[in-house]
Amino acid sequence: MKILLAGGAGFIGSHTAVELLEAGHDVVVVDNYCNSSPRSLERVREITGKDMAVYEADVRDKEAVKNIFDREAVDCVIHFAGLKAVGESVEKPVEYYRNNIDTTLTLLECMKEAGVKRIVFSSSATVYGEENESPYVETMPRGSCSNPYGWTKAMMEQILTDTAHADPDMSVILLRYFNPIGAHESGKIGEDPQGIPNNLMPFVSQTAVGRRDKLTIFGGDYDTPDGTCLRDYIHVMDLANGHLKAVEYAADHKGVEIFNLGTGKPYSVLDIVNTFEKANGVPVPYVIGARRAGDLPSVYADASKAERILGWKTKRDLRDMCVDSWNWQKNNPNGFRDQDQS
Ligand code: NAD
Ligand code: WQD
């Protein structure tokens, strides 16, 4: 199949490109690099020894996206293109709604004109909101989100669902990711946030490599076994494999299907710090600070539906996630920027 990855140069997109190329699919990437580097795609070529078509464009630019659909016989779209920083979305809600909703609408319009009927969407566990309790199951209704980023995901799920209802030949697969961390085993690609990381693992690995003095753990007084929050961390290569399974499932599917992509196993912030230190033999200095607004004590998946229907199961454990995150960080202390400057 020929698969268009919108936002394919980013963290999850680049790892998914490796997985799809290695499974023998053709890959087309469109990205404006607003939160990524074209270097990630050069590394994807190095890892796989395979080529892919790459277009630099804003996915909101209908002319540009239409031209890509005219040139490439796309079978399926995976829509990763979006802004994803929770805190920033509170400060710049209009920018988040404009970017995330518009990319989705433009893709759907161009898909309709080109007769492309399959789309896999990067959704998030955040759409379960605070009304539901972990483990989250796909049959639960969406809850209220604590920030505009989360609302964009909930709205895009609704837009995609309505679109599938209007066209019985369409297949829409909503993938709700939990907490993706880790990196490709080669250490050539990984998560490369701009500025101070918002997410835990890049902060941990940047602290270990000396870019940050210390990690602040947000809250040590939650009602959890060690007082720190519980999350469902998933290795990004297991997540990438979930996309491969979803694309192959979509080929013979019509309608809307939701899948949680998580391991189903909750770990605490202290579990992450301790496992990272032990597995990699490096210290991660930390202090326990105040709670972060909007954080829920416990978020983890019931991952049984993806196993039952897609035949997908995670293979990598927390130690693998910590080892691979560190391998990426220590080989690329400044992410892709080292290479950009050379
Ligand atoms: P990322 O920022 O690394 O990747 C997103 C990519 O989309 C980037 O390469 C960026 O340049 C591109 N992009 C954004 N807006 C664009 C536009 N208008 N036109 C063209 N390209 C554009 O993020 P990621 O971690 O790889 O996440 C991928 C998707 O998964 C996002 O939609 C994100 O919201 C979602 N998601 C991520 C997580 C996570 O923790 N990483 C969890 C749940 C959902
Ligand atoms: C994990 C845990 C923090 C940083 C977010 C989005 C979600 C999804 C994934 C993205 C929490 C703690 C963190 C730090 C800390 N989407 N922490 N110190 O908040 O579970 O999920 O990313 O596209 O929608 O909300 O992930 O990595 O920010 O935090 O103690 O410096 O680590 O409190 O318990 P989160 P995270």
pLDDT of residue 342: 36
- HSE-up of 65 (CA within 13 Å, CB side)? 29
- HSE-up of 192 (CA within 13 Å, CB side)? 31
134 Cβ below 6 A of ligand 2: no
- Quickly state the pLDDT bin for 338 (edges 50, 70, 90): low
Q: Which of 55, 136, 149, 177 is catalytic?
A: 149
- Ligand 2: which atom is nearest the Cα of residue 153? 24
Average pLDDT of the residues in 88-112: 98
Pairwise CA distance, residues 35 & 101, whole Å: 17
Helices and strands (DSSP H and E) totals, the chain: 12, 14
pTM: 0.98
Q: Is 149 a catalytic residue?
A: yes
- Kindly identify the ligand whose nearest atom is closest to the C-alpha of 4: 1
33 Rama sector, left if φ>0, alpha if ψ -120 to 50, beta otherwise: left
Q: Are strands 267-268 and 230-231 parallel, antiparallel or unpaired?
A: antiparallel
- Kindly identify the ligand whose nearest atom is closest to the C-alpha of 64: 1
pLDDT of residue 340: 47
Nearest CA to 212 out of 203, 201, 220 is that of 203
CA-nearest residue, atom 16 of ligand 1: 81
**CA dist 50 to 1, 26, 73, 213, 247, Å?**
15, 9, 19, 40, 19
**CA dist 67 to 17, 23, 64, 109, 145, Å?**
21, 27, 5, 13, 36
Contacts of 44 (CB under 8 A, 6+ apart): 14, 17, 18, 21, 52, 189
Pairwise CA distance, residues 298 & 133, whole Å: 8
Pairwise CA distance, residues 258 & 157, whole Å: 10
Per-residue pLDDT tens digits for 191-233: 999 999 999 999 999 999 999 999 999 999 999 999 999 999 9
Per-residue pLDDT tens digits for 145-175: 999 999 999 999 999 999 999 999 999 999 9
DSSP structure class, residue 184: -
Pairwise CA distance, residues 206 & 202, whole Å: 6
The best mutation among 269, 299, 322 to test binding of ligand 2, ranked by most ligand atoms within 8 Å of the C-beta, falls on 269
pLDDT of residue 3: 98
Backbone angles phi, psi at 67, to 5 degrees: -60, -40
100 Cβ below 6 A of ligand 1: no
Residue 81 CA to ligand 1 center (angstroms) comes to 5
Does 15 have pLDDT greater than 60?
yes
82 Cβ below 6 A of ligand 1: yes
Per-residue pLDDT tens digits for 237-266: 999 999 999 999 999 999 999 999 999 999
Residue found under tokens 């790459």: 54
CA-nearest residue, atom 10 of ligand 1: 35
CA-nearest residue, atom 12 of ligand 1: 7
- Ligand 2: which atom is nearest the Cα of residue 272? 32
267 Cβ below 6 A of ligand 1: no
pLDDT of residue 337: 84
Per-residue pLDDT tens digits for 26-48: 999 999 999 999 999 999 999 99
- Mean pLDDT (the chain, rounded): 97
Per-residue pLDDT tens digits for 271-292: 999 999 999 999 999 999 999 9
- Kindly identify the ligand whose nearest atom is closest to the C-alpha of 176: 1
Residue 304 CA to ligand 1 center (angstroms) comes to 26
Residue found under tokens 């600070």: 289
Does 339 have pLDDT greater than 60?
no
Per-residue pLDDT tens digits for 298-324: 999 999 999 999 999 999 999 999 999
Backbone angles phi, psi at 86, to 5 degrees: -60, -50
Residue 216 CA to ligand 1 center (angstroms) comes to 25
